A = this chain, B = another copy of it.
Amino acid sequence: MTNLRTLREREIIELILKQLDRMPQMPIPFGDDVSAYPLDNSLMLILKTDMLVDKTDVPPSMSLWQASRKAVVMNISDFAAKGTQPKVMLVSLGLPRRLAKKEIIEIGRGLNAGAREYNAYVIGGDTNEASDLVITISLFGIAKKDSMMLRSGAKPGDIVAVTGSFGKTSAGLKILLDNFEAPKKIRGIFLESVFMPYARLREGLALSQSRAVTAAIDSSDGLAWSLNEIARASKVGFLIDKLPSADGVKKFAKINRIDEFELTLYGGEEYELVLTIKPKLWKKAKEAAEKVGGKLLPIGKVTAERKLLLEIDGKRQVIEPKGWEHFKSITA
């Protein structure tokens, strides 16, 4: 019998999608970072839900305040990737009986901190009893139909760019979960990236305004997976010629005798944006990101050939369509 041990997250989603009637004229198709409902000819309601479950999404030594804030941030990040300001959110909580009063307070504070950090408000929700701590956030905003950065608009020749470096979080998770070693200073930075992720909302809003972006996604499932998703939705390929590893990732990889590229490409729980940019508007896009205190780092080109290739120092290798999936560990 086929059960979840053998079904990957993507297959589960496909199975459920097959059972659903399609709303006519969906403004954003299934499978993008957010969903949408048309309000009028020019505006649409933007919707997103994502569940955090402590046993798979909360590493040891992360506080409840941090976990609750993260539950919000991971939803905000999808809005950032679509260039949409989140306005309000609802919170549905599944609470284990073991929780104490002060822990409930901590959860409430973390939720509020996550929302307010991005200028949104919690305006409703419900509580339930559950075996795991479960935090489901539903996020809402309003966007212009013609300014939406979808996954599907990348064109051959476009510049591939990211809003920051990669590998810190996957290294941090390896320290927390597998007892990998790191020098004290790097260790602190890596753990911070796990405990206190930030959504690139300012960058996403500014880049959307620049009109230079042809496709965008957030990197919560890892850089390789994000590239794969844009490639699939846009029917293109990529030639990546710079690997945006964070400071210390190379050293960390060496100390622990693992591959730097693996950490940078196939991580997850990182909340950078991965975008494709019209070459003519590159400067405008870069300035837009920098004006709000962010970065835009070119890492390669979109290709017509539908392959995901990495070429560093003249050596080519294929970027595999794998990344962070919740059920990954039991299917790999």
Contact = CB atoms under 8 A, between A and B. Distances in A.
A138 interface: yes
Given A47-B140, A99-B3, A140-B47, A12 B326 contact: no
A250 interface: no
A126 B17 CA distance: 11
A35 B92 contact: no
A267 B30 CA distance: 39
Contact of A51 (B20, B87, B131, B134): B134
A4 interface: yes
Contacts of A7: 101, 104
A125 B51 CA distance: 9
Given A15-B104, A49-B138, A129-B327, A20 B96 contact: no
Interface in A72-94: 87-88, 90-94
B20 A122 contact: yes
Contact of A20 (B94, B104, B111, B126): B111
A37 B95 contact: no
Interface in A256-279: none
Given A20-B122, A90-B35, A108-B20, A130 B53 contact: yes
A45 to B, nearest CB: 7
Contacts of A42: none
A26 interface: yes
A49 B101 contact: no
Interface string A103-137: 01101110110011000011111111111101010
A98 B100 CA distance: 30
15 contacts: A4-B100, A9-B127, A12-B95, A12-B127, A13-B127, A15-B101, A35-B88, A39-B39, A50-B126, A51-B128, A51-B130, A55-B131, A57-B128, A129-B327, A136-B136
